[in-house]
Structure 1
């Protein structure tokens, strides 16, 4: 039976320097993300994982609340970790290789919902900096087509109906676990957040927004071994 595999990064580990350092990218991808993949595979291939065998990573998110008690925490945490990180890598690009600002319909939607792109960033930064402990900040679309900002704890995400307080399709997400920034920024999370905007792949975010308008989740590589 096929297992989930670690997706390759769409750029070199050093490509996001100086904003995201090479060592952090190595540890984050090869260490943390690989562990989520391994643990998820172990849970869904074990004796309690039958209902999750063959499901896409998206559908595992949507059904995490229904997992048997014996594997519920593992599926929630590691399935979320695999989905979140597989999306996260695509949301960044080396400086100069993608549009440096939102554009098209997404730019207009951000201005309509938040007043300006700068105000959107201010509110997103507050969600990311204000997440107590480990978690994520998100820009999402709800079922009515409205954009909203939220944060989730640990490896939860807005696809997790019955778990997440805010349900919607994630368009942009920022990892604010300490492992995402501590080697370079130590306890200076706001500095990491500010630096991250320099490597946001706005072309991908615009693509995600286009999918969300059709109530489709972002497209990214989820390889099987």
Structure 2
């Protein structure tokens, strides 16, 4: 079954002034759609078993993908999975609290230390990629990946592993219209649009 672009779960301007409407239109309607289109094109010649995988299951089973299609699947199914999660992680007005906040304080020492580590991972990712908060072996950790790799792909492909609970896209297309080359400003603005309720939900699910 062909993958489809999920609708944005809010209005394009819902994240203003931190992420602008024009960027959201371009990022969701053009960039994410292209990942979906390219993933579907790469899947056309693959086995029925692989075609039946959900996007997240597919990127967790890259060893089953033929070598000549691996890069296309890794990049484009990875981009589809990463962006589908990213849209859900954005919302103005939520609060870090409860079990998630306690876990962050336990595993990082403080919320501020966590934010510093996450911001550093995002700022120092050379070129394009992502910063992540993941659950690894029952503990929260900050990691980063290149391009459209995901921790779900595991060490072999992404160089890291874990279940994502928070993600930040640091490809230039995610911020360049508003922030130009000021990635650090975009990262700082991100904390105003984190959907902590969704992060808490993902954390609770990952712990099960």
Q: Are residue 76 (structure 1) and residue 63 (structure 2) matched?
A: no
SS in 2 for 1:198: coil
Q: Are residue 193 (structure 1) and residue 192 (structure 2) matched?
A: no
The answer for the alignment partner of 1:212 in structure 2 is 206
Report the alpha carbon displacement of residue 50 of structure 1 after superposing the two structures with TM: 4.1
The answer for the alignment partner of 1:64 in structure 2 is 62
SS in 2 for 1:173: strand
Report the TM-score, using the length of structure 2 for normalisation: 0.97
Counting only pairs closer than 5 Å after superposition, residues 1-225 of structure 1 correspond to structure 2 as 2-46=1-45, 48-93=46-91, 95-96=92-93, 99-100=94-95, 102-142=96-136, 144-161=137-154, 162-214=156-208
Report the TM-score, using the length of structure 1 for normalisation: 0.90
SS in 2 for 1:132: coil
Q: Which has the higher helix share?
A: 2
Q: Distance in 2 between matches of 1:205 and 1:172?
A: 6
Report the alpha carbon displacement of residue 56 of structure 1 after superposing the two structures with TM: 1.1
Q: Distance in 2 between matches of 1:22 and 1:44?
A: 32
CA RMSD of aligned residues (A): 1.0
With a CA cutoff of 8 Å and minimum separation of 6, indicate the structure with the bigger relative contact order: 1
Q: Distance in 2 between matches of 1:24 and 1:65?
A: 35
| Structure 1 stretches of at least 4 aligned residues deviating more than 2 Å after TM superposition | 48-51
Aligned residues: 207
Over residues 13-47 of structure 1, what are the superposed CA-to-partner deviations in whole Å (9 max), with x where a residue is unaligned? 0110100001100000000000000011111122x
Gaps of 5+ in 2: none
Over residues 170-205 of structure 1, what are the superposed CA-to-partner deviations in whole Å (9 max), with x where a residue is unaligned? 000000000000000000000000001101000000
